[in-house]
Structure 1
C-alpha cells in the first residue's frame, strides 16, 4: 500500500507485491438484471429474478418500476437458494417521478414503459444525464404514438404522458450513439398494439452484443422477434405484439466487471478464477478471454468457471472494440503497462458515455506520465514509465477500476472517488484488497 498522506476523497490504490492467486466471485450482470426487471414488469404474470445485481443502476431501475406500480419484493428464492426478487406486474400508472441517476439503461429503457402507463411519468437524473444522448429515443417514441414533453431539448428532464397503450409500428432510428436506443424500443414492443419494426439508419452500430442480449431475453419470455442474426433483414428488428410470460431467471455474473480482476492476473503474472463464467453468453465481457490472451495471458474455461493466467509480460494490441466499447477503459489501463504500442479502435461513441471516456483516459494516464493520444475513433497508447499521482474518475465506475489496474504496478496512485464503482460493482475496494490478500 502507498505511504502517501490520504485525502478523504482519495483511495490509495494497492500495489501488488507478488503475483495474485485468487478466486473472485463477481456479482450479477447489470445489463441482464435491468433487462430482466423491465421484461418481468411488463409480463402477464409474476416472475423471479435470481442473483440480481444490487448496485446503484439496478436499484434505480427497481425503484423507478415501483414508482409506476410494479411490485418488487426482495428476499430469497422459493427454494431458499439465495437472493431473489419477486416481480409482480400491475397496471402501470402515474403520476410518478423517476430518478435515472446517470444510468443509461434507466433513462433509455423506461420512457417506452412509461408510454404504456396511465398518467404522467417525469424523468430526471444527475447533471451528467442531461448531456447524454436521448433525442433519438424521444423522437422514435413520438413516431410510435407517444406524447413526450421535453421542452425541445431532446434530453432529460422530460415527462412522458402515458394513456395506457401505445400504437407502435414501423420506426427508423440512428443508434450510432448507443445500442441502447434499439434495445429500449424492443423491450417494451410486445406490449405495443402493433408491435414494432425498428430500422437502424446510422453508419455504425456499437455494442451489438447488447442488442443480441435483448433479443435472446425477449424470446425467453415468449416474444416473437425477427432479427438480422436469425436471417432477417440487416439492421431491422421486428417484434410482434403478444403477452410476455413470467419467468424464473438466474442472472449471470457480470463479465465486464470481471475485467479488473483478470487484468490483475495478466499484469502480475498471476492467476485469477471467476466462478460460474457461462460457456455461452451474449455478454460483451466474454470477449475479455480472447483480448487478454492476445495481450499475453491464457485461460481455461471449465465447470469451475474461468481461470485466467498471466506470464508477467503484457503485450500491446491493435483491436477493434466497437462491439465491446465498455471494456475500453480497462484495456487502456493494461495497454499503458504493456511492452509495445496499442491502438484501440471503433469506440468514438465512448465520448457520450458516463463521461467522455476517451478524453478522460487520455488525460489521466498522461497525468501519470503516460503517452496516450486520441484518434478519430479511439486511442493510441505508447508505453512509458509511469509514476504516482491522482487518477480522477469523473463519476465513472470504469475509470475508477482502470486507475486501480494501473495502481497494481505503479507506486502511489490515488483514485479520486473510488465509491463511484457502486454504480455496477458494490464493495469494489474490499474485493480488490481481498484479491491481493490484504
Structure 2
C-alpha cells in the first residue's frame, strides 16, 4: 500500500491496531549520521563510501548541496560514493526544511571560491541560524545576511581560530563549526556562552565521527570544543538505523500490548533515540536486546512519566503521544528549544493532542498531560515529520484519527505511511 497524498482537505486515516501487534522492522539509516558522513566525506583527503545511507529529502538535499560546491556524491545505489573535488562557489543551495543543510553547509562554503546562496522552504526562514553565520564572520568568512536567504562568499581558505556562540537554541550550531574546522588554517576553538546546550548527544556524535576521520578534537572542558587543523581522512562507514525514527514503531508495541523488534539496534551508539529504551521501560514496557535487535513489549496500561528530555528533544512528539494515552499523569520538561524545530512543537502538540481530547497544559519549557479519554479528529502536522509520528501513534489506539499531510514523513522516512499501514 502506497501512502496517498494528504492535504488539509484530504487527511490520511491513521490505521487502528485491532489487537496486539507483533512485528519485526528494518528501519532506514540515521539522518543525523548520514548528513554528517556526507559533509566529512566531501572535505576528506580521498573518496569514501557511505553504506546504507538514508535516502530522504533531507539527505538528498545535502548531497545536492555538496555536489553544487564541487564534490561528487553518487546516490544511485544503496551505498553512496563521495569523491571530494575543488570547492567552488557560484552555487545555490536549497535547504528545504533541513536544519543540517542550512547549518552544516555554510562553514564548508567558506572554503569555496565564490558566492554560495542559501534559501529553503518558507517555514525554514523562521528557523534560527544567525549564531552560525555570526560565528563564520568572526572566523574570517564574508557572510551576507543573518537568516535565510543568505550568501556566503568564500575565498578558498578560512582563517579559523576562537569563536564564542550561544548554542542554547540548537546543538547544530556547535556541530556545524566543528565539522569543517579541521580544514581551517588555525582549526577552530568553539566556546558556548548561554543557557545549557540542548541535544548534547548530537555533539558527541559529531566529535566521535571527526575522530574516526583522524581529526584531533578536545572536548574535555565544559562548553568548549577544539578541533586541530589538519587533513580529514577518508573513511568508509555503514550508517546505523535511525533510532529516533524507531519511536513510532516501538510506541506501537506500547499502545497495542504487542511486541515490536527493531533490527540491528546498536549496543553502543551516540544517537539520541537510544534514550527510548529507558523511557519506555519507565512507562511500563519490557525492553530487551535479542539476536535480531531491540524488542519492546507493551504493558496492559501505560504509566505516565516525569522526565527531562532536554538532551533528546526530538523524541518529544512520540513520547507526548504515549503520555496522552497513559493511565497516570506525565510531565515532560527541559524542551523549550523544540519551539524552534520544524514548528513550535510544544504549542503544536498541546493544540493537536488537546483537539483529540487530551488534558494537556503547555509550559514555557514543556508539557503536562493528565489521563483523559481521547476521540477521533484531524491531527495537523505543520509540515513536521515528528508531529505526523505523534498523530499515527494516537491513531493506533483511537478510532477515527485523521493525519494531515502524512507525506511530510518523507523528510526522514520515504513511504512511511505505506510501511505503517502494512504493519496494521
TM category, shorter:
over 0.9
Which stretches in structure 1 are left out of the alignment for 5+ residues?
1-5, 77-82
Distance (Å, rounded) in 2 between the aligned partners of 1:73 and 1:364: 40
Matched with 1:31 is: 32
Q: Give the structure 1 partner of residue 23 of structure 2.
A: 22
- 1:162 aligns to 2:143 (yes or no): no
State how 1:258-297 maps to structure 2 within 5 Å. Answer: 258-297=246-285
| Corresponding residue SS for 2:310 | coil
Equivalent pair of 2:108/2:180 in contact (CA under 8 Å)? yes
For 1:172 and 1:382, how far apart are their aligned partners in 2?
A: 41
Match of 1:51 in 2: 52
Instruction: Report what 2:349 is aligned to.
Output: 361
> Whole-Å Cα distance in 2 between the matches of residues 9 and 35 of structure 1?
36
Shift of residue 422, structure 1, vs aligned partner: 0.2
Deviation at 1:169, TM superposition (A): 0.2
1:314 aligns with 2:315: no
- In the other structure, the counterpart of 1:86 is 81
1:190 aligns with 2:182: yes
CA shift, 1:303, in A, is 3.2
Superposed, 1:313-352 pairs within 5 Å as 313-352=301-340
Find the counterpart in structure 1 of residue 3 from structure 2: none
1:106 aligns with: 101
Shift of 1:7: 7.5
Distance 1:7 1:62 in 2: 31
Q: Secondary structure at the match of 1:373?
A: strand
User: How far apart are 1:302 and its partner, in Å?
Assistant: 3.3
Q: Secondary structure at the match of 1:323?
A: helix
Q: Is 1:256 aligned to 2:244, yes or no? A: yes
Structure 2 equivalent of residue 67 of structure 1: 68
1:23–1:435 Cα contact (<8 Å) kept: no
The question of 1:41 aligning with 2:31 is answered no
Query: What is the rounded CA distance, in whole Å, between the counterparts of 1:324 and 1:13 in structure 2?
Result: 26
The answer for the alignment partner of 1:143 in structure 2 is 138
Q: Distance in 2 between matches of 1:111 and 1:75?
A: 25
Give how far 1:75 is off: 4.2
Match of 2:370 in 1: 382
Q: Distance in 1 between matches of 2:188 and 2:399?
A: 54
Match 2:410 to one of 422, 429, 436:
422
Deviations 1:191-219 (A, max 9, x none): 00000000010121100000000000000
Q: Does 1:95 align with 2:90?
A: yes
Matched residue of 1:137: which SS? helix
Query: Quick check: 1:175–1:201 contact (8 Å CA) kept in 2?
Result: yes
- Does the 8 Å contact 1:297/1:308 carry over to 2? yes
Q: What is the CA–CA distance in structure 1 between the aligned matches of 2:262 and 2:47, rounded to whole Å?
A: 31
Query: RMSD of the TM alignment (CA)?
Result: 1.0
SS in 2 for 1:119: strand
Partner of 1:177, secondary structure, is: coil
On the 8 A contact 1:223/1:242 being kept in 2, the answer is yes
TM-score by length of 2: 0.97
Kindly provide the CA deviation profile for residues 249-271 of structure 1, in whole angstroms up to 9, marking residues without a partner as x. Answer: 10000000000000000111000
Partner of 1:179: 171
Separation (CA, whole Å) in 1 of partners of 2:372 and 2:358:
5
CA distance in 2, matches of 1:319, 1:396: 23
In structure 2, C-alpha distance between the alignment counterparts of 1:159 and 1:373, rounded to whole Å = 41
Contact 1:24 1:435 in 2 (8 A): no
Q: 4+ residue stretches of structure 1 with deviation over 6 A?
A: none
Kindly indicate whether the alpha-carbon contact (under 8 Å) linking 1:373 and 1:381 is maintained by their aligned counterparts in 2: yes
Could you report, residue by residue, the CA deviation over 1:345-367 in whole angstroms, capped at 9, with x for unpaired residues?
00000111000000000000000
Paired residues for 1:191-206 under 5 Å:
191-206=183-198
Distance 1:8 1:56 in 2: 24
Q: Within the alignment, does 1:305 sit opposite 2:293 as a pair?
A: yes
CA shift, 1:143, in A, is 0.3
Q: Quick check: 2:8–2:404 contact (8 Å CA) kept in 1? A: no
Rounded Cα–Cα distance in structure 1 between residues aligned with 2:278 and 2:224 = 29
Q: Work out the CA distance in 2 between the residues paired with 1:383 and 1:145.
A: 54
Residues 42-74 of structure 1, C-alpha deviation per residue, up to 9 Å, x if partnerless?
001000000000001001000111111110113
